[in-house]
């Protein structure tokens, strides 16, 4: 029994952002379903949101540690991202101390540590079996690793039309994450360090929140760059909503009253923000489209929320017969509803994967970071999305007009070819995590290694 106890314990530590915590918690649930006990370390600010459902309480223990920023301090600016990086440094010592304390208390070490690969201190983690975890696109990881080459060739820092030049490993610079379009030398230095972490971490393997049907070529490219095995384990979906059953909240009740595939769902994730002018253009475009809409307007969506409070209240009253505006929604449940026919999205990677999983076409409006890469996958590679505008796909911060919103919503809801392509992408995503699928096989390899207490390639 003691050996079995040793082989069934894993520690996971997630970078302090919701977009990292959510897929890592889904990985924890996947492991728990296979009998692995998980201690899940996260920032104290996110501890409450990381709590698993009762179904997982005995197998997943959540521990909050110092470091990170609360939601009110987070946004999508490069400065805020740098702040999160600095705060993440504070998580190292508490994590290491608590791992040791946990192992002493239980009398056995963890069989494996799964560490978010965005932690700059990943190479300093000492354990016989360390698995890295990459939450974003595989293409983004490849860019991080090849940044020194891009800088040496003069492609970065970005200078206007140079972004249209071909880049390393066949990746067009037009498809390089928005973050690098505005990155200064300090931003690039930090990003190069990310790439060096991936190259020199000493991790046994790197787990990728992706699947071969989405990024097969990119996975192969990354594997050619890194010394450790790269294992796609995605898409990491909470198929049981981490135990959250469908409940009669106002979103689902409202959707139940709508026609099939008639609703555009609008959400920009947890970090993205827009100007007051852009917010009003978006709202007026939704209104003039004539479509029914469910719009998530979180308190930090607008750069200066107070500038739109009066406008929003009047808009809410004016459109109450066609739309529902909420501060939060259970996105997977919304996307799974038969009334939803289009997802107007910022194209964060988690949202992109959730749209694919649910088979809902995307009206792509990338705003920052790697979202333009995700949008290009949807629009150009998978043919399962349409851009809100060509300019917005190419450059961050472009003002999108109410007419572009109106036309995008109308055409996106009507376009059956998008729906067909997204169903095909959804089929590939679901097959990846079924027995015999590439991601299922990767999880099997991981579990076998955990039970053996070490990685063997």
Rounded to whole angstroms, the Cα distance separating 72 from 300 reads 7
Q: Which of 15-24, 87-96, 108-117, 162-171 has the lowest mean pLDDT?
A: 162-171
Helices (H), 257-376: 276-289, 309-318, 331-336, 349-358, 371-376
Q: What is the pLDDT of residues 191-245, one digit of tens each?
A: 888 888 899 888 999 999 999 999 999 999 999 999 999 999 999 997 554 434 4
Q: Residue 164: what pLDDT?
A: 43
386-392, Cβ contacts within 8 angstroms, sequence gap of 24 or more: 386/361, 386/362, 386/411, 386/412, 386/415, 386/418, 387/363, 388/344, 388/363, 388/364, 392/365, 392/366
Q: Residue 68: what pLDDT?
A: 62
Q: What is the pLDDT of residues 359-405, one digit of tens each?
A: 999 999 999 889 999 999 999 999 999 999 999 998 888 999 999 99
Q: What is the pLDDT of residues 124-142, one digit of tens each?
A: 898 889 999 999 999 999 9
Q: Residue 246: what pLDDT?
A: 44
Domain 9-241+432-452 fold: Rossmann fold (3.40.50)
Is-cis flag, bond preceding 318, omega within 30? no
CA angle 285, 287, 290 (to 5 degrees): 110
In the set 18, 20, 337, 346, the catalytic residue is: 20
The secondary element (H helix, E strand) that includes residue 99 is helix 92-106
Mean pLDDT of 85-91: 83
Sorting pLDDT into bands at 50, 70 and 90, what band is 178?
confident
Do residues 383 and 417 lie in contact, with contact meaning Cβ atoms separated by under 8 Å? Answer: yes
Domain parsing of the chain, residue ranges: 9-241+432-452, 250-414
User: If you write DSSP's letter for every residue of 57-70 in order, what string do you get?
Assistant: TTTEEEEEES----
Mean pLDDT of 173-178: 72
Burial class of 16 by CB neighbour count within 10 A (0 to 12, 13 to 18, 19+): buried
Residue 67 has pLDDT above 90, yes or no: no
- Judge whether 20 counts as a catalytic residue: yes
How much of the chain exceeds pLDDT 90, in percent? Answer: 64
Q: Residue 371: what pLDDT?
A: 94
Q: Which residue has the higher pLDDT, 54 or 160?
A: 54
Most confident region among 51-55, 93-97, 177-181 by mean pLDDT: 93-97
Burial class of 174 by CB neighbour count within 10 A (0 to 12, 13 to 18, 19+): middle
Q: Helix crossing, 309-318 with 276-289: angle to 10°?
A: 10
Q: What is the pLDDT of residues 327-372, one digit of tens each?
A: 999 999 999 999 999 999 999 999 999 999 999 999 999 998 899 9
The CATH-assigned architecture of domain 250-414 is 3-Layer(aba) Sandwich (3.40)
Q: Which residue has the higher pLDDT, 338 or 17?
A: 338
Looking at every residue in the chain, the average pLDDT score rounds to 88
Residues 6+ apart with CB under 8 A from 39: 9, 10, 11, 12, 60, 61, 63, 102, 110
Sorting pLDDT into bands at 50, 70 and 90, what band is 49?
confident
Sorting pLDDT into bands at 50, 70 and 90, what band is 247?
very low
Is-cis flag, bond preceding 197, omega within 30? no
Q: Give the SS3 label for residue 372.
A: helix
What is the reported pTM? 0.92
Domains 9-241+432-452 and 250-414 share a fold: yes
Six token digits for residue 69: 């920023």
Do residues 145 and 195 lie in contact, with contact meaning Cβ atoms separated by under 8 Å? Answer: yes
Rounded to whole angstroms, the Cα distance separating 409 from 388 reads 9
Rounded to whole angstroms, the Cα distance separating 141 from 199 reads 10
Residue 153 has pLDDT above 60, yes or no: yes
């Amino acid at each position: 029994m003691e050996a079995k106890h040793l082989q069934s314990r894993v520690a996971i530590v997630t970078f302090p952002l919701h977009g990292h915590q959510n897929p890592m918690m889904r990985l924890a649930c996947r492991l728990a379903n296979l009998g692995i006990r998980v201690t899940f370390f996260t920032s104290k600010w996110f501890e409450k949101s990381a709590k698993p459902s009762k179904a997982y309480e005995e197998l997943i223990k959540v521990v909050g540690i110092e470091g990170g920023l609360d939601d009110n301090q987070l946004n999508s600016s490069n400065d805020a991202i740098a702040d999160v990086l600095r705060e993440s440094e504070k998580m190292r010592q508490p994590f290491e101390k608590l791992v040791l304390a946990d192992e002493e208390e239980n009398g056995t070490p963890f069989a494996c540590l799964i560490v978010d690969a965005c932690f700059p201190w990943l190479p300093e983690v000492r354990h016989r079996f360390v698995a890295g975890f990459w939450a974003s696109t595989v293409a983004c990881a490849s860019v991080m690793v090849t940044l020194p080459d891009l800088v040496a060739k003069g492609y970065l820092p970005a200078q206007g039309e140079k972004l249209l030049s071909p880049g390393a490993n066949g990746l067009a610079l037009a498809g390089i994450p928005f973050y690098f379009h505005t990155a200064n030398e300090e931003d690039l230095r930090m990003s190069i360090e990310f790439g060096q972490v991936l190259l020199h971490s000493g991790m046994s393997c790197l787990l990728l929140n992706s699947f071969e049907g989405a990024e097969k070529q990119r996975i192969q490219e990354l594997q050619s760059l890194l010394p450790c095995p790269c294992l796609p384990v995605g898409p990491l979906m909470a198929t049981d909503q981490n135990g959250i059953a469908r409940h009669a909240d106002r979103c689902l009740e409202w959707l139940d009253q709508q026609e099939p595939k008639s609703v555009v769902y609008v959400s920009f994730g947890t970090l993205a923000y827009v100007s007051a002018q852009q917010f009003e253009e978006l709202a007026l475009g939704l209104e003039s489209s004539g479509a029914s809409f469910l719009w998530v307007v979180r308190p930090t969506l607008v750069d200066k929320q107070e500038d739109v409070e009066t406008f929003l209240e009047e808009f809410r009253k004016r459109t109450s017969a066609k739309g529902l505006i909420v501060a939060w929604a259970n996105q997977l449940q919304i996307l799974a509803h038969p009334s939803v026919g289009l997802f107007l999205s910022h194209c964060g990677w988690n949202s992109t994967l959730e749209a694919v999983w649910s088979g809902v076409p995307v009206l792509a409006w990338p705003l920052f970071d790697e979202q333009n890469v995700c949008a290009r996958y949807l629009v150009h590679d998978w043919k399962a999305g349409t851009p809100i505008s060509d300019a917005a796909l190419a450059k961050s911060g472009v003002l999108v007009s109410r007419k572009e919103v109106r036309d995008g919503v109308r055409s996106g809801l009507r376009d059956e070819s998008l729906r067909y392509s997204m169903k095909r992408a959804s089929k590939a995503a679901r097959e990846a995590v079924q027995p015999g699928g590439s991601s299922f096989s990767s999880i099997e390899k991981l579990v076998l290694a955990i039970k053996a207490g070490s990685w063997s390639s």
